[in-house]
Amino acid sequence: MSQRIRVGMALLTVLVDVIAVALAYYGGYLLREMIPWPTPIRLGPFRSYWSQLLIYGASIVGTFSLLGLYRLRRAASRIDLLYKIISGTTLASLVATALSFLALRTEQELARGIAIYSWCLSMVLVLLGRIFTGWVRKMMRRRFPVRLLLVGTGATARMIDQKTKKSPQLGYQVMGFVGTGNGGDIAGLSVAGHEADLPRIIQELAVEEVIIALPEAPHEEQLDIIAVCEGEHTTVRVYPDFFQLIASDLTISDLDGLPLLTVRDVALHGWKLAAKRGMDLLVSGAGLVVLSPLFMFIALLVKLSSRGPVFYAQERVGLDGKPFPMLKFRSMRVDAEAESGPVWAVADDPRRTRLGSLMRRTSVDELPQLINVLLGEMSLVGPRPERPVFVEQFRQVIPRYMDRHKEKAGMTGWAQVNGLRGDTSIVERTKYDLYYIENWSLLFDIKIILRTLINSTRGDRHAY
């Protein structure tokens, strides 16, 4: 059923794209007739442009296929989708114009205005079409979820189970867990049996997909599980360990015929470092100017609501492991750690002020860190900085933890927009931070900033 749905949704997406492109091209034709730009022109009847329309539609579908826009991912980012639609439509428009000029220049004069207007309309109409197909896809996934089996009973398997429950639009129904023994249950789901029972469990539960949630298991064990699942014709996914996480961009070399893997330096250099710093300066400078009235209003409220200073400077560890004072609007009592010493904030923390609870839920207390960004102590996006006492603890037990400090600490990060903030797993948070460092791009930063703004308006249950 799920395979038929995937094929049907892919065909529906192609059909909607074709309709959107045809409407865009016709709209471009009408606009060119109404608007005498770039030069006045008298167009012939629309039927004389059908050949160009066919070339344009074929170019769009072909380009989108090459860019993977018909491989429908379950958790695709809207920002990534928008970027691909814009770049794909632009490339397809250039290709279609070139092909039309080469193939049809003797049949019909090519109108630059039609090409420009249809290109603009295509981006809008294709995006609207994708919103429609995305809604249909979510409805189908909710009605016909993929039957999922989790191999593992530890924290990783439980986290994946929670993710599927929080995001029903992904279309997964967890059928159970496979662990080291029979019986029992986890989060209301049964432990269906041992790894040796996988063939029987897959058949009895009609499992369509298996996720191996054993990141610390030996590779030989994981390969054996993969072989069994593939023998039952199920889709297999593997939750990565730390080495697999950093192996996405390794260089393969050799030592007199012996294969070696070279782990690249993940620190930003050259134009990448300059581009990231340029965006930090631009956004932080503009943000401090635009938000200055809000800063004054919040400062007044903090001063009136509780005794003590407006700002709170806390020592955190940043780039290259060097400490710096991270600024925040004070959201707790002045003597918050007088008895407990350095501890993490917890849900319903009694040390918070009444105003502090609201500021933390909306992350408004973090806004003064724009000053840290302007001074170069932090970046807009990066791994969230920890206090020195916690860094010293984590570096002893978490592999590659200090690699987080090869980049500047950020006001927000990839881990935070995925719900890993507050009292959540440091191990999982470190994996997200390393993934961000390995896969950095300006587009990635922009996506994280936009998701942060969206999460702030909704209120974050982990922000306490």
Distance, CA of 448 to CA of 454 (rounded, Å): 10
CA 387/CA 345 separation, integer angstroms: 13
CA distance 57 to 74: 26
From residue 361, alpha-carbon distances to 46, 349, 350 in Å are: 56, 12, 15
CA distance 162 to 164: 5
User: What would the 3-class secondary structure string for 89-104 be?
Assistant: HHHHHHHHHHHHHHHH
Contacts 24+ apart (CB under 8 A), 227-236: 228/198, 228/199, 229/198, 229/202, 231/199, 232/198, 232/199, 232/202, 232/203, 232/207, 234/149, 234/202, 234/207, 234/208, 234/209, 234/210, 235/208, 235/209, 235/210, 236/209, 236/210, 236/212
| pLDDT recorded at residue 263 | 59
**How many residues would you count in the chain?**
464
User: How do strand 251-255 and strand 258-262 relate by DSSP bridges?
Assistant: antiparallel
Domains of the chain: 2-142 (no CATH), 146-239 (3.40.50.720), 270-458 (no CATH)
In eight-state DSSP terms, residue 383 is P
**Which amino acid, one-letter code, is at 153?**
T
Spans of the chain below 50 pLDDT:
106-107, 247, 464
Tens digit of each residue's pLDDT (9 = 90 or more) over 316-339: 999 989 999 999 999 888 877 666
pLDDT of residue 360: 83
What is the rounded distance in angstroms from the CA atom of residue 158 to the CA atom of residue 177? 9
Query: Closest by alpha carbon to 408, among 446, 447, 369?
Result: 369
The neighbour count for residue 458, using CB atoms within 10 Å, is: 9
Q: 270: which 2 tokens? A: 């050259």
Give me the torsion for CA of 382, 383, 386, 391, rounded to 10°: -130
**pLDDT for res 374:** 96
φ, ψ at 387 (rounded to 5°): -75, 150
pLDDT at res. 180 = 64
pLDDT at 106: 45
Output the CA angle 227-230-234, nearest 5 degrees.
140
Measured between alpha carbons, how far is 310 from 331 in angstroms, rounded to an integer? 9
Question: Do residues 308 and 396 touch, judged by C-beta distance below 8 A?
Answer: no
First to last CA, the chain: 43
> What per-residue confidence (pLDDT) applies to 196?
82
Q: DSSP label at 167?
A: -
Per DSSP, the three-state class of 269 is coil
3-state secondary structure of 317: strand
Integer Cα distance of 78 and 405 in angstroms:
29
SS3 372: helix
**26-to-49, 112, 329 alpha-carbon distances in Å:** 9, 14, 55
The one-letter amino acid code at 464 reads: Y
